[in-house]
Structure formats: C-alpha cells, structure tokens
Amino acid sequence: MKRILITGVTSGIGKALMHYFLDHGEEVIGVARDEEKIQSLRKTLSKKYESKRIHLYRADFSKMRDVKAMIAEVSNAFSDGLDALINNAAVFPHKKRITEDGFETQFQVNHLVPALLSFEMFPLLKKRLGRIITTSSDLHKKAKFDPDDLEGLKRYHPLRIYARTKLYNLLFTIALNDRYGEKIGLRAFAVHPGKVKTRIGEKGKRRLYGAVWRFFTRKALPPHRVVFTYGLLVYEKDPKTIIPYFHRGQPLRYSDVALNRDNVNRLFDETAALLNIDPNEKLT
Ligand SMILES: NC(=O)c1ccc[n+]([C@@H]2O[C@H](COP(=O)([O-])OP(=O)(O)OC[C@H]3O[C@@H](n4cnc5c(N)ncnc54)[C@H](OP(=O)(O)O)[C@@H]3O)[C@@H](O)[C@H]2O)c1
C-alpha cells in the first residue's frame, strides 16, 4: 500500500485524486483549508473506504503558521515515510491580496507553500524513494521570468501572476530533478491537467467572472477523467523520460523560459532563501 499526500482535496482535481488513490487501495493524507468541507468529505469517504486509509488535515496556505503546524503533525504521524507528495492546491483570485506573511496570495499558495512542503517532506520521501508531483498548467507558456519581480507586483494582473506561479511549479520541479534526482533518487514531475471543469475560476469572484469561466470550461473534461496521469507517475517504476512535464499520460514540451537553467537555478535559490531553508540540511 502506498502513502500519498495530496493538497486541495475538497474540490476539483484534488478531490478526484483522493478518490482515485483510495479506489486503488492506497492510504491518502488529504490537506484542505476549510474545516466544514473537511468534515463533509470525511463523512462521504468513510461510507466507501476503511477509515484507517483516510487522513485529513486542515491548513490554509495563505497562512504560513497553519502550514507549518500541519507539516509538523504530518511529519510526526508518518515518520516511516511517504511515497508521493501531490502539490495540487492553488488559487486564482480576481484582485491583489497580500497574505499575513507579506506575500502576494497566489505566489504563496501556488508556489511558496508547495516548495515548502517539498523541502519539508524530503526526509519522509527519501525513505521510500518517493515522488513529488505538482499540478502546473500550459498557461505557464504565457509567463515571463522576472527574478526581480517574482510576485508580479509591478503592473499587477491576477492572470499574469497565476501563469507565473504555474511556471514556477515547473521550474521548481526541474530544479528538484537536477539537484536531487541522481543524488537521492527523488523524481519530480509537473502535470498539465488540460482544461478541467472545476470551480477555480469562480471562487471568490463576481458573478460575471464566474459566467466567463463556466463558458470557457463548458467543454472541459470532468476532474475524474484527468487523474490517470498522476496514477501513471506514482505507479510507473521508472517513467522513462527526461521531460518531467506530463499531460494525458504523455511527456509534453514546455516553454523555452522553463528550459533555461539560469531561470531554474535562480527560482530555486530565491525560493529557498525566501523560505529561509537550507535544502541540503534536509538531505543529511
Ligand atoms: N481547472 C483547470 O482547467 C486547470 C487547468 C490547469 C491547471 N489547473 C490546476 O489544477 C489544480 C487544481 O485546481 P482545480 O481546477 O481542481 O480547482 P479547485 O477545485 O478550485 O481546486 C483547488 C483546490 O485548492 C484549494 N485551495 C485554494 N486556496 C487554498 C488555500 N489558501 N489553502 C489551502 N487550499 C487552498 C481549494 O480549496 P477549496 O475546496 O476550499 O476551494 C481546492 O481544494 C490547481 O493547481 C490549478 O492551478 C487547473
């Protein structure tokens, strides 16, 4: 039985992932931000699966203190290891918000927290030659890399910073493979799920935005149809590819900006510095 940690399990792709891996007989640690939704999910899941395979934790990723408390609990409860970390939670607000930690919200929720989780779960993943899979997006191809404005605060536009955070997901994934692939056998992947019928483009937004999102995704696939790619990346013993970016079960070419190793290294180093983390310390 594999043990898999998935973020953002109360809706959309994350919820479908939780069902997918529980259906496959795995033990799943789900992380979500809303206590009410967690209770409702627990109720639904416990009717279908044995409760010892279901673990649900609350953490709002726009609060680093929440995230750190959750990490401490998970690390303590599952110290014998983790087979996969799936960084899936993300937010796409319609206006600029700064978190209590002082970061632009998408930059924190979509990039900094997945990076922190990746660093902090290293010790558990190392024990089982685990994998880190992050939900990115082909929208990253629209993003520029500006190391002097990582949070996209100059000429702020929510879609611009959303696309950038999806680029950071990919750059960080590439950096993890470069630095730790051979050294400790860690494999990292990013997934482009395609256009998926979820509510990410409606949450916290005015009605008009919701209507535009629903129109844009009217022919999109339902979440349960896209999760097999994650299954392939968790179960395949040795996914033979030098491209760590997948869509519909196949490697997919990413942008030239993501191919640039200066960008990969700069993003990784800036991220570690912002999180005040020495990545090598986690590997000893
Ligand atoms: N849908 C698409 O077409 C599409 C395309 C490309 C990439 N993606 C990516 O797919 C991933 C999943 O998104 P989705 O489409 O499934 O949308 P979704 O249903 O809104 O899922 C996002 C998840 O993240 C959680 N989340 C949001 N803010 C959070 C916070 N502050 N703290 C903790 N969790 C938080 C949400 O919790 P709540 O349930 O409480 O809202 C939700 O469970 C995201 O990384 C997104 O960027 C989606």
Residue 57 designated active-site? no
Q: What are phi and psi of 104, to 5 degrees?
A: -60, 135
- E strand or H helix that includes residue 28: strand 27-32
Instruction: Please list the residues that pair with 128 across neighbouring strands.
Output: none
Q: Which residue shows structure tokens 């299954």?
A: 231
Residue 283, pLDDT score: 65
By most ligand atoms within 8 Å of CB, the mutation choice from 200, 214, 224, 227 for ligand 1 is 200
Instruction: Please list the residues that pair with 188 across neighbouring strands.
Output: 132
pLDDT band at 213 (very low <50, low <70, confident <90, very high): confident
Mean pLDDT of 227-240: 89
Span 119-172, pLDDT tens digits: 999 999 999 999 999 999 999 999 999 999 999 999 999 999 999 999 999 999
Residue 164, pLDDT score: 98
Question: Catalytic residue among 20, 57, 162, 245, which?
Answer: 162
User: How many Å lie between the centroid of ligand 1 and the Cα of residue 284?
Assistant: 33
* Cα–Cα distance, 184 to 122 (Å, whole number): 10
* Cα–Cα distance, 265 to 21 (Å, whole number): 33
Domain spanning 3-282: CATH 3.10.129.10:
no
- Judge whether residue 187 has pLDDT over 60: yes
Q: Alpha helix (H) ranges present in 138-278?
A: 158-184, 207-216, 228-235, 256-259, 261-274
Q: Which residue shows structure tokens 């013993």?
A: 237
- Judge whether residue 241 has pLDDT over 80: no
Mean residue pLDDT of the chain comes to 94
Atom nearest to 60 CA in ligand 1: 32
101 with 64: CB under 8 angstroms? yes
Residue located nearest, by CA, to atom 36 of ligand 1: 8
